[in-house]
């Protein structure tokens, strides 16, 4: 199914040179390492599917003053990993802002009675005041936890998501958590995700993973009857229902999803994870740490998969099935066959409307590579892509996906992205809310690829239909043709000459 094409590497190299020339020398030198054009790698061998290389420096500090798009460790922990765990209360511990700006913004869908037994779309904060900074906030945290117990007694546990000041004023949230956990007989997890730690959201993911290892695993006797087909889905945050559109396929092929991390998850699903047979990891960047831990400690294999677009979904279903043997493999084939007519119909409808359209992506730590094939399934061409907070191993994995000549940009700055888009004029840009409106002002269609632009799911077969429809409606909307006032001539060369 893979689409064959090569991008204009010479143009992209020139664009990189142009943006770097605008920086002060010191910044130019640092930014140069983050920008590149994918080159042809070694020809694909039996083992390696690498078609191209896209080596850039990554996961290092952003340069001050350049308008990085990145967030912080708190965003990685509370916003991504812990926030979706639905039956726990997550305290944004510190001043009011962090919790306020991240309140209900990631669209982690869940089912439950909010405020009673589930708490995802709520903002709990210790709302630090000056006195808490001066005298320390541990006493306040104790009281916050007590008040949560009184007013929200059906919570299954509490996490303490530390904001910047906590680590700076030397609070001991671990001691408070330990004591209060004993007193209330509840799971209480302190997470040291202060925003100044690390260089992006990424360290927050890691810290959040470690907190699961240290404060959840092996803390209770878990009664659970295991089966040979038990799997955990790791790193699916159920944005717009992604995890549900995935789960339905996994169950149809005979597997038992005993835990989904962490979209629509309960604490129980996390606690029992070490009893599963296989960890399936979607967002490698944010949750590979805990998979590696479970492999080392409990001998659980883990496997990356990709449920964006039918090509990858099919390949993933087969790869997962292979792990479980012929019976599941047969069922997987049945699932693939069942959905084939839907896939064919979606492609028949939308591919002619999208064929050859060019796309630039700039997303977080997984989608810059994972969604590439979904676009290609619709005949679309990826001309540029980059990660907000990818690491070296993400860029290594990207080579499998992108074609020669693709523009690669790591931790792109507002300035660079604008110039790249201006220079390339793609037919579609997929990125975040901060990028959406500048791009649309330029007359270029845009889809938010963090929140699915309030749509979704995009995972699995049901999600692919929505994805295809959304890309079509973004690109083929008539508004893009209304930008120029008809009385205003586009170019006025005579006037320019006359101005002499």
Q: Which of residues 255-284 bind other proteins (CB under 8 A)?
A: 257-259, 264, 266-269
DSSP state of 118: B
As a whole number of Å, the end-to-end CA separation of the chain is: 57
DSSP 356-389: T-EEEE-BSSSHHHHTHHHHHHTT-EEEEE-BSS
Binds other proteins (CB under 8 A): choice among 1, 18, 97, 489: 97
The verdict on 254 binding other proteins (CB under 8 A) reads: no
183 to 212, contacts with other proteins by CB under 8 A?
A: 195-199, 201
Annotation marks residue 106 as catalytic:
yes
Nearer to other proteins, 182 or 349 (CB): 349
Degrees (nearest 5) of the Cα angle 279, 283, 289?
Answer: 60
C-beta of 42 vs 484, nearer to other proteins: 484
* 75 catalytic per annotation: yes
Q: Based on CB atoms, which residue is closest to other proteins, 13 or 67?
A: 67
Q: Which of 12, 31, 38, 72 is catalytic?
A: 72
Q: Is 198 left (phi over 0), alpha (psi -120 to 50) or beta?
A: left
Complete DSSP assignment for 266-281: -HHHHHTGGG-SEEEE
Q: Is 489 in the site for other proteins (CB under 8 A)?
A: no
Q: Which pair of structure tokens corresponds to residue 373?
A: 């094939």
Q: Is 319 exposed, middle or buried (0-12, 13-18, 19+ CB in 10 A)?
A: middle
Helix axes 242-252, 326-354, angle to 10 degrees: 140
Residue 46 C-beta: closest distance to other proteins, Å: 37
Residues 105 to 164: which contact other proteins by CB under 8 A? 105, 109, 111, 113-117, 121-130, 132-133, 140, 143-144, 147-148, 150-151, 153-154, 156, 163-164
> What part of residues 340-379 is at the interface with other proteins (CB under 8 A)?
342, 345-346, 348-350
Tell me which of 90, 192, 205, 369 is the catalytic residue.
Answer: 205
Tell me if residue 72 is catalytic.
yes
Which among 200, 204, 114 is positioned nearest to 159, based on CA atoms?
204
Among 84, 240, 263, 390, indicate the residue that binds other proteins (CB under 8 A): 240
31 catalytic per annotation: no
Q: Can residue 248 be called a binding residue for other proteins (CB under 8 A)?
A: yes
Q: Which of residues 408-467 bind other proteins (CB under 8 A)?
A: 413-415, 418, 432-434, 436-443, 455-457, 461-462, 465-466
94/279 Cα distance (integer angstroms): 34
- Pick the closest to residue 263 from 388, 70, 112 (CA basis): 112
Catalytic machinery residues = 72, 75, 106, 205
């Amino acid at each position: 199914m893979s689409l064959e094409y090569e991008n204009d590497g010479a143009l992209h190299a020139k664009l990189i040179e142009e943006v770097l020339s605008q920086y002060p020398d010191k910044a130019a030198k640092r930014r140069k390492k983050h920008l590149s054009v994918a080159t042809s790698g070694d020809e694909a061998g039996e083992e390696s599917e690498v078609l191209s290389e896209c080596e850039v420096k990554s996961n290092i500090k952003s340069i001050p003053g350049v308008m990085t798009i990145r967030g912080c460790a708190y965003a990685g922990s509370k916003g991504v990993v812990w926030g979706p765990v639905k039956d726990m209360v997550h305290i944004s511990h510190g001043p009011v802002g962090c919790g306020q700006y991240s309140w209900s913004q990631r669209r982690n869908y869940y089912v439950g009675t909010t405020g009673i037994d589930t708490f995802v779309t709520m903002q709990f904060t210790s709302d630090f005041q000056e006195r808490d900074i001066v005298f320390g906030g541990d006493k306040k945290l104790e009281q916050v936890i007590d008040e949560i117990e009184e007013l929200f007694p059906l919570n299954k546990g509490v996490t303490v998501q530390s904001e910047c000041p906590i680590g700076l004023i030397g609070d001991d949230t671990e001691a408070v958590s330990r004591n209060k956990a004993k007193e209330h007989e509840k799971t209480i997890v302190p997470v040291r995700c202060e925003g100044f730690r690390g260089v992006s959201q990424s360290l927050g993911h890691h810290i959040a993973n470690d907190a699961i290892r240290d404060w959840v695993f092996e803390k209770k006797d878990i009664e659970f009857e295991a089966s040979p087909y038990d799997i955990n889905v790791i790193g699916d945050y159920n944005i717009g229902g992604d995890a549900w559109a995935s789960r339905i396929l996994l169950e149809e092929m005979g597997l038992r999803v005993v835990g989904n991390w962490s979209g629509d998850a309960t604490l129980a699903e996390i606690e029992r994870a070490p009893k599963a047979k296989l960890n399936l990891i979607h967002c490698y960047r944010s949750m590979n740490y805990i998979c590696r831990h479970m492999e080392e400690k409990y001998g659980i294999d883990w496997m990356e998969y990709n449920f964006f677009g039918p090509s990858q979904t099919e390949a993933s279903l087969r790869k997962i099935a292979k792990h479980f043997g012929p019976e599941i493999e047969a069922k997987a084939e049945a699932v693939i066959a069942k959905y084939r007519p839907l896939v064919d119909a979606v492609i028949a409808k939308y591919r002619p409307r999208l064929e050859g359209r060019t796309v630039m992506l700039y997303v977080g730590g997984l989608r810059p590579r994972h969604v590439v094939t979904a676009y290609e399934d619709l005949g679309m061409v990826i001309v540029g892509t980059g990660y907000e907070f990818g690491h070296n191993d993400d860029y290594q994995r990207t080579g499998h996906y992108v074609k020669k000549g693709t523009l690669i940009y790591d931790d792109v700055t507002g300035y660079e992205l604008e110039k790249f888009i201006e220079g390339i004029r793609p037919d579609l840009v997929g990125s975040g809310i901060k990028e959406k409106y500048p791009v649309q002002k330029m007359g270029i269609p845009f889809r938010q690829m963090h929140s699915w632009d309030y749509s979704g799911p995009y995972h699995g077969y049901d999600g692919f239909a929505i994805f295809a429809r959304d890309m079509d409606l973004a690109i083929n909307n008539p508004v893009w043709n209304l930008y120029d006032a008809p009385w205003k001539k586009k170019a006025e060369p005579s006037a320019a000459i006359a101005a002499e």
